[in-house]
């Protein structure tokens, strides 16, 4: 059986750990600009919110393309994803690299910049 002082010490240490680890603020996931999307999509693997950030990034990419695909007639499309389609992680990595090479676009709307990237990377032939 653990001594009471050990139990209290363990609880205090656990509580201190829990309070020192903070989740990303809700504003972190309000994506308005390309720079904000790039920041979320390039969250470091060791970051506490890495899994959340990656899922959010992939959701933005898939959601934006899914909406575009649903509402844009085939004859009017300027982005055509190849078959087989690339993995979301690959698209996210390529978008981040492409965007970082174009810092002048970082204050533009996130989805506009995403589609500039997509049109360059996956143009319709």
Rounded to whole angstroms, the Cα distance separating 15 from 53 reads: 25
**Residue 24: per-residue pLDDT:** 53
Quick check: 88 pLDDT over 70?
yes
pTM of the model: 0.76
Give residue 1's pLDDT band: very low, low, confident or very high (50, 70, 90).
very low
Residue for token pair 């990237």: 117
pLDDT tens per residue across span 25-71: 556 678 999 999 999 999 999 999 999 999 999 999 999 999 999 99
Is the pLDDT at 6 greater than 90? The verdict is no
Query: What is d(CA 21, CA 13) in angstroms, rounded to the nearest whole number?
Result: 13
């Amino acid at each position: 059986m653990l001594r009471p002082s050990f139990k209290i010490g363990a609880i205090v240490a656990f509580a201190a750990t829990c309070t020192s680890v903070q989740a990303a603020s809700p504003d972190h996931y309000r994506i308005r600009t390309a720079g904000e999307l790039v920041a979320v999509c390039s969250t470091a693997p060791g970051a506490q919110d890495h899994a959340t950030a990656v899922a959010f990034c992939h959701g933005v990419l898939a959601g934006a393309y899914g909406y575009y695909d649903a509402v844009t007639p085939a004859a009017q499309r300027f982005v055509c994803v190849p078959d087989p389609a690339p993995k979301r992680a690959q698209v996210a990595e390529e978008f981040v690299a492409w965007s970082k090479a174009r810092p002048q676009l970082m204050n533009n709307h996130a989805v506009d910049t995403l589609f500039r990237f997509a049109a360059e990377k996956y143009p319709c032939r």
